[in-house]
Amino acid sequence: MIRGGTIYNRRNVVIFKLVIMGFIGLIVLSSVTVAIVQSLRVSALQNDVEQLTQQVILYKQGAGDAQDKSPTGSSSNSSSDIKNIGESSDPGDSTDAVHYTKPYQKLYPDMRVDNQVEAKLPEKNTVYLTFDDGPSENTVKVLDTLKLYGIRATFFVIGREDDESLALYKRIVDEGHTLAIHSYTHNYEQIYESVDAYLADFNRLYELLYKTTGQYPTMFRFPGGSNNVYAERSGITGELIAEMTRRGFVYYDWNVSSQDASNPPPSISSITNNATKYSRKSTVSQVLFHDSKPKVNTAAALPNIIEYYAAEGFVFDRLTPEVTPVQFKSLSDYSEYAEDDHSDQ
């Protein structure tokens, strides 16, 4: 019995040891399994990091290529963005972005022209016929007369969007005349209320003329002239001149007036006399007329005026930025704004 019990006890011990070893094996196997899973996770994470790193490298290379392909060498701004922040549009200017001194300078960033020309007086006695406040049915008569005499002139127009007016804008350009801006509304109280108001009115006509003719105008005439009392009363004359000059536009007043805007309307002979009586005192005449609907006598007087100047030896031409402008008020009259002239050029 004792032997049988001993054998039984030994068997139990062996079984117990096997069970213990089994548990130990399971623990070891579990640890190995956990280690393998963690190793796989680390490997996958490393692959993800490597892929992300490669994407970052490719992105940087692509950005570098974009810089190389950019005409200005800038990767952060397109040409329109450059205008919006006020950087110079001159490729030779290496200055940083301009800090605007007035909020309105940021308005309508595309409303600007590159008039890098030197204005000069003509060599011959020259008369420049200029017409304000059209187009109208009288503009048709004026254009017909100019075509008959083979003469080019300048039209400072207002804003009209009927089919007839749009066709006249285009005819002015197609027949070789200068199409320039007067104002869209021609409402003095409104447009001279502030610089912002003037720019809004100007831009409205600026875009209309481009849409109609495919050309942006580069010149303008202040309604009432650069010395008009409305802008003076608002205290914005100097700012207006400085801002429009900064944007590259050239403005023209006049040194001869036909006085056809007088009330009551002057006769044909009065308009003719007013437009010609100072011809012998000046070698250059920039003559003011109006071609709005009521100015019937202006259109009728035009042949007499043309024939008079031709007999006096004058040649006729249109205004362009190359022609020295007559200006009642200029930037030099407002020294406090002169330093802002072309501040973003």
Quick: pLDDT tens for 168-195.
Answer: 999 999 999 999 999 999 999 999 999 9
pLDDT at 93 over 60: no
DSSP 306-322: HHHHHHTT-EE----TT
More confident residue, 235 or 9: 235
At 240-253, the pLDDT tens digits run 999 999 999 999 99
Read off the tokens for 248: 């590259």
Model confidence at 265: pLDDT above 60: yes
Q: How confident is the model at residue 15 (pLDDT cuts 50, 70, 90)?
A: low
Separation CA 263–CA 265 (nearest Å): 5
pLDDT at 234: 97
Residue 191 phi, psi dihedral angles, 5° rounding: -75, -25
CA 29 to chain centre: 76
Segment 80-91 shows an average pLDDT of 33
Confidence of residue 280 (pLDDT cuts 50, 70, 90): confident
165 versus 1: the higher-pLDDT residue is 165
Mean pLDDT across the chain, nearest whole number?
81
Q: How many C-beta neighbours within 10 Å does residue 329 have?
A: 20
Q: How far apart are CA 233 and CA 189, in angstroms?
A: 10
pLDDT score for 57? 44
Would you list the domain boundaries of the chain? 126-338
Is residue 155 left, alpha or beta, with left meaning phi > 0 and alpha meaning psi from -120 to 50?
beta
pLDDT of residue 33: 59
All residues at 6 or more sequence positions from 209 whose CB lies less than 8 Å from its CB, including other chains = 157, 169, 179, 181, 215, 216, 217
Mean pLDDT of 229-238: 97
Residues 132-145: tens digit of each pLDDT: 999 999 999 999 99
| pLDDT higher than threshold 60 for residue 90 | no
Q: Which residues contact 275 (CB under 8 A, 6 or more apart)?
A: 256, 257, 258, 287, 289, 301, 305
- Lowest pLDDT segment from 62-66, 115-119, 155-159: 62-66
Give me the pLDDT at residue 71, please.
Answer: 35
Q: If you ran DSSP here, which 8-state letter would residue 257 be given?
A: E
Please state, in angstroms and rounded to a whole number, the distance separating the CA atoms of residues 259 and 273: 10
pTM of the model: 0.71
Domain topology for 126-338: TIM Barrel (3.20.20)
* Mean pLDDT on 294-309: 98
Model confidence band, residue 70 (pLDDT cutoffs 50, 70, 90): very low
Q: Which of 35-39, 118-122, 330-334 has the lowest mean pLDDT?
A: 35-39
**What type of residue sits at position 110?**
D
For the residues 231-241, what does the mean pLDDT come to? Answer: 97
For residue 262, pLDDT beyond 70: yes
Confidence of residue 123 (pLDDT cuts 50, 70, 90): confident
CA distance 252 to 180: 10
